[in-house]
């Protein structure tokens, strides 16, 4: 009752602002310019509006960032219940999480650092936890595996982004006189951490967690029957 239909109202004036349009523009700005490139004034300019206009839709900049965050987590998909075994669904979830991170390297930092407890997000958790329940895990074990998977995925997202980001100022680690340096083990490892190999590194770690879950799931389901 307090909010009228903002839908069909722009008939001859310009398109009015909406939370959606603002968050769209904000995410686009962050994707292209980086997190520090997002200012209320720049965001206003992108929307052909004065900065203060945004404050009629969001209380402050933090709320805009929360909107962007919500967009990001919405991109992560857990396959629907019947589509594949529970373990495979979790594996897809983890991969989807990582793909989201790589699509939004500048914005991703928001995900593990900004806390958000919206109702919608609780629903997401509930969905995920159903999958753990299918594996036979109780609350304690679900909590542990949920966090283990989340730790791994968010750490991988951050680290991979940092690995891929080539900052122009930094020394490009010239291999010329680095090859016979004092750090032979580093040299042996570096090629395996190039951008093209990070997928395999991620899959390696993910597999370790998945195998542990498989074992515990079999034990839990057997005991239960």
Applying CB under 8 A, which residues contact a second copy? Answer: 109, 112-115, 117, 122-123, 125-126, 129-130, 132-133, 138-140, 142-144, 146-148, 150-156, 158-159, 162, 165, 167, 170-171, 173, 182-186, 188-189, 191-193, 197, 200-201, 204-205, 208-209, 211-212
Residue 6 binding: pick among a second copy, DNA, none (C-beta 5-8 Å cut-off by kind): DNA
Q: Which of 7, 56, 170, 200 binds DNA (CB under 7 A)?
A: 56
* Widest Cα–Cα separation across the chain: 73
User: Total residues contacting DNA (rule CB under 7 A)?
Assistant: 25
3-state secondary structure of 197: helix
**Binding region for DNA (CB under 7 A) out of 38-46, 184-192, 203-211, 212-220:** 38-46
Q: Is 69 in the site for DNA (CB under 7 A)?
A: no
Residue 13 binding: pick among a second copy, DNA, none (C-beta 5-8 Å cut-off by kind): DNA
Q: Which of 32, 60, 118, 197 binds DNA (CB under 7 A)?
A: 60
3-state secondary structure of 69: helix
User: CB under 8 Å, gap of 24 or more: what pairs does 69-75 form?
Assistant: 69/110, 69/111, 69/114, 69/116, 70/23, 70/116, 70/118, 70/120, 71/23, 71/27, 72/27, 72/100, 72/104, 72/107, 72/108, 72/110, 72/111, 73/100, 73/111, 73/121, 73/124, 75/100, 75/103, 75/104
C-beta of 92: minimal distance to a second copy in Å?
A: 18
Residue 19 and residue 58 in contact, taking contact as beta carbons nearer than 8 Å: yes
Which spans of this chain sit near DNA (rule: CB under 7 A)?
2, 4, 6, 9, 12-13, 16-17, 38-42, 44, 49-53, 55-57, 60-62
């Amino acid at each position: 009752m307090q909010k009228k239909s903002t839908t069909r109202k722009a008939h001859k004036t310009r398109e009015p602002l909406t939370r959606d349009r603002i968050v769209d523009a904000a995410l686009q700005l962050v994707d292209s310019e980086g997190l520090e490139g997002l200012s209320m004034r720049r965001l206003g300019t992108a929307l052909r509006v004065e900065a203060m206009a945004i404050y009629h839709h969001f209380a402050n900049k933090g709320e805009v960032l929360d909107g962007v965050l919500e967009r990001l987590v919405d991109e992560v998909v857990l396959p629907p219940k019947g589509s594949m075994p529970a373990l495979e669904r979790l594996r897809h979830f983890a991969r989807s999480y990582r793909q989201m991170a790589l699509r939004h390297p500048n914005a991703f930092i928001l995900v593990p650092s900004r806390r958000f407890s919206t109702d919608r997000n609780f629903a997401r958790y509930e969905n995920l936890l159903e999958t753990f329940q299918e594996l036979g895990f109780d609350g304690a074990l679900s909590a542990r595996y949920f966090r283990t998977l989340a730790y791994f995925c968010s750490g991988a997202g951050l680290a991979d982004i940092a690995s891929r980001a080539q900052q122009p100022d930094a020394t490009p680690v010239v291999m010329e006189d680095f090859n016979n340096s004092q750090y032979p083990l580093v040299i042996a490892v570096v090629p395996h951490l190039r951008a093209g190999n990070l997928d395999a590194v991620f899959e390696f770690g993910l597999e370790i967690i998945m195998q542990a879950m498989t074992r515990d799931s079999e034990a839990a389901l057997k005991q239960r029957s």
